[in-house]
Chains A and B, each alone.
Chain A
Amino acid sequence: SQQGEEDPQALSIQEGENATMNCSYKTSINNLQWYRQNSGRGLVHLILIRSNEREKHSGRLRVTLDTSKKSSSLLITASRAADTASYFCAPNSGYSTLTFGKGTMLLVSP
């Protein structure tokens, strides 16, 4: 399995603003997944985008995938304080295991 690298490491915004975080990976993938982890809790699966998809939406989340650049982005629109969490991407090359990077810590201030 390969590890995604999230950028930035930390992001601080005000409620109502949009938050964008990026993920880069090294080898070809079957799909890429984004997860959220609230402090001291397990991960929550947010969205999966397949290698033949370029964009996917889920509520206030928008994920893009550029396989030519081996990168993905997660956009959270109209952020809320409850969105404060760490966000991880997991590029999946078809193996059973997922490897997580250090994530992006998002802080949304009221």
Chain B
Amino acid sequence: GAVVSQHPSWVICKSGTSVKIECRSLDFQATTMFWYRQFPKQSLMLMATSNEGSKATYEQGVEKDKFLINHASLTLSTLTVTSAHPEDSSFYICSAARGPSVNQETQYFGPGTRLLVL
């Protein structure tokens, strides 16, 4: 159990367009979902935390108007990169946790979405 999927796995888009990435928990309800970004040869950087039905909490330096997060249900969160630019090219990974904010223990990670903006 505890499988998280992401769609698409790869996306190439033109500069200025918007891209939506979906993150789904397939066999459990995810109260909390997390979005990370990873540049080549670097670690994952947390972008935002989203709780079902409420606004996402963004990490410092992450533009909430550029990276729109919607956690509309207990099994789905979406990340929309608006007006993408080449510097947004990265590996975007989501994770999901069963529990609410404090003391949740394990996050289950999706396989990631590789975004290339031309």
* Interface, chain A (partner B; CB < 8 A): 30-31, 33, 35, 40-45, 48, 88, 92, 94-103
Contact = CB atoms under 8 A, between A and B. Distances in A.
A45 B105 CA distance: 11
Contacts of B110: 42
Interface stretch (B11-19, B62-70, B81-89, B91-99): B91-99
Interface string B93-111: 1010100111111111111
Nearest to B40: A40
Contacts of A31: 105
A35 B110 CA distance: 13
Given A42-B109, A43-B93, A102-B42, A94 B34 contact: no
B26 interface: no
Contacts of A95: 101-102
A96 B30 CA distance: 13
* Interface bracket on B: 20 to 34
Contact of A41 (B32, B101, B112): B112
A45 B4 CA distance: 12
A97 B106 CA distance: 10
Given A33-B106, A42-B112, A96 B43 contact: no
A100 B6 CA distance: 20
B117 interface: no
Contacts of B116: none
B75 interface: no
A41 B111 CA distance: 5
A96 B91 CA distance: 22
A98 B42 CA distance: 16
A45 B108 contact: yes
Contacts of B49: 96-97
A101 B43 contact: yes
B43 A88 contact: yes
B35 to A, nearest CB: 11
A101 B101 CA distance: 21
Given A43-B95, A101-B43, A96 B102 contact: yes
Given A41-B112, A88-B44, A103-B43, 13 more contacts: A30-B103, A31-B105, A41-B111, A42-B110, A42-B112, A45-B107, A92-B105, A96-B102, A97-B34, A98-B46, A98-B107, A99-B46, A100-B43
